[in-house]
């Protein structure tokens, strides 16, 4: 549904909207070729006979024994079409609002934004934006992208209506198991105070987040260009000695880290 028109429903209010992906992750693309330098073509084959699949030579269904690939039971195409129609959510229906500060940001996945459909009066979206901005609330709803359902939150941010997809709580079970491990460990108040002091010393204004850039893309592109130009690339030498695990003397390591941060700050001032 990304990049497609849909409807946003809030009670009796129905707003035609367009869901757009905020960005696409960039990277340096490397093509694959055979040893002869020819393009590689992927061909799907029958796992038993090895014969290449032809157009229309495919069924959809379920294997009773997926690992062995035996006991296949076909689901007819009419039924597949009905399943798709009955399980897709073409409309975003908001039934609940929560405070933005209460959103489980740790469960966020992808980011989208809502825009008005072409030729549609954008005033309802502007009204919604102002209401969400003033109340600092987020609308929670479910949506379908391709064939999967997602939980989503809609809120006002920097002049736009942002939509964050989230994991359902049931899909986030591993975190609770990890928290059980932390709950079983005790730390000394003095160590916590030192860690807090280190964090405070390293704290910057929130705008620092926007100063981070993906520096691997230009680096990777430069290295690829050098390789194509025939230059020899040397692998960096890995350290001979692995770093010490943070278990021996936590207080000493925290103090050393704090002093290093303070030293870097002094050097920046002098520069």
C-alpha 129: how far from chain center: 24
Q: Which residue matches tokens 């609308």? A: 139
Q: Tell me the two tokens of residue 6.
A: 């849909």
Residue 17 sits in which domain range? Answer: 5-24+85-172
Which CATH number fits the domain that encloses residue 108?
A: 2.40.290.10
pLDDT score for 240: 55
pLDDT score for 1: 45
For the chain, the farthest-separated pair of C-alpha atoms sits apart, in whole angstroms, at: 74
Q: Tell me the two tokens of residue 221.
A: 């592109």
Query: 262 and 148: one domain?
Result: no
**Which residues touch 118 (CB under 8 Å, ≥6 apart)?**
18
Query: 167 and 190: one domain?
Result: no
pLDDT score for 91: 83
Query: 251 and 146: one domain?
Result: no
pLDDT tens digit string along 74-98?
998 889 888 777 766 678 899 899 9
List per-residue pLDDT tens for the chain, 271 residues long: 457 888 999 988 888 999 998 877 778 888 899 999 999 988 899 988 989 888 888 899 999 998 888 999 999 888 988 877 776 667 889 989 999 999 999 999 999 999 999 999 999 999 999 999 999 999 999 988 777 888 999 999 999 999 999 999 888 877 777 788 888 888 888 989 999 999 899 898 888 888 888 888 888 888 888 888 998 888 877 665 555 555 567 888 888 888 998 888 888 887 6
pLDDT score for 103: 95
Phi and psi torsions of 78, nearest 5°: -60, -40
Q: Tell me the two tokens of residue 84.
A: 């798709």
Query: 150 and 20: one domain?
Result: yes
**Looking at the domain assignment, is residue 242 inside a domain?**
no
Query: 17 and 102: one domain?
Result: yes
pLDDT score for 179: 80
**Looking at the domain assignment, is residue 79 inside a domain?**
no
**Looking at the domain assignment, is residue 97 inside a domain?**
yes
Domain count, the chain: 2
- From start to end of the chain, where are the E strands? 5-10, 13-21, 61-65, 70-74, 91-94, 96-99, 108-116, 137-145, 148-157, 160-166
């Amino acid at each position: 549904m990304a990049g497609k028109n849909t409807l946003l429903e809030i009670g009796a209010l129905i707003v035609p909207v367009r869901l757009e992906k905020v960005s696409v992750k960039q990277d340096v693309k490397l093509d694959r070729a055979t040893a002869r330098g020819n393009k590689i073509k992927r061909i799907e084959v029958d796992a038993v006979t090895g014969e290449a699949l032809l157009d229309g030579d495919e069924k959809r269904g379920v294997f009773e024994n997926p690992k062995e690939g035996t006991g296949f039971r076909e689901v007819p195409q009419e039924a597949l079409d009905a399943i798709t129609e009955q399980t897709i959510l073409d409309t975003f229906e908001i039934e609940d609002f929560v405070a933005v500060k209460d959103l489980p940001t740790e469960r966020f996945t992808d980011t989208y934004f809502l825009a008005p459909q072409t030729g549609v009066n954008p005033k309802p979206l502007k009204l919604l934006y102002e209401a969400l901005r003033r109340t600092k609330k987020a609308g929670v709803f479910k949506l379908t992208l391709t064939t999967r359902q997602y939980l989503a939150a809609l809120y006002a941010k920097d002049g736009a209506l942002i939509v964050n997809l989230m994991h359902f709580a049931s899909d986030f079970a591993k975190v609770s198991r990890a928290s059980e491990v932390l709950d079983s460990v005790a730390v000394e108040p003095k160590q916590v105070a030192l860690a807090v002091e280190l964090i405070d010393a390293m704290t910057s204004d929130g705008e620092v987040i926007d100063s981070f850039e993906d520096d691997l893309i230009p680096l990777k592109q430069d290295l690829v260009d050098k390789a194509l130009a025939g230059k020899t690339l040397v692998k960096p030498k890995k350290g001979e000695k692995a770093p010490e695990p943070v278990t021996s003397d936590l207080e000493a390591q925290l103090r050393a880290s704090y002093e290093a941060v303070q030293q870097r700050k002094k050097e920046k001032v002098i520069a």
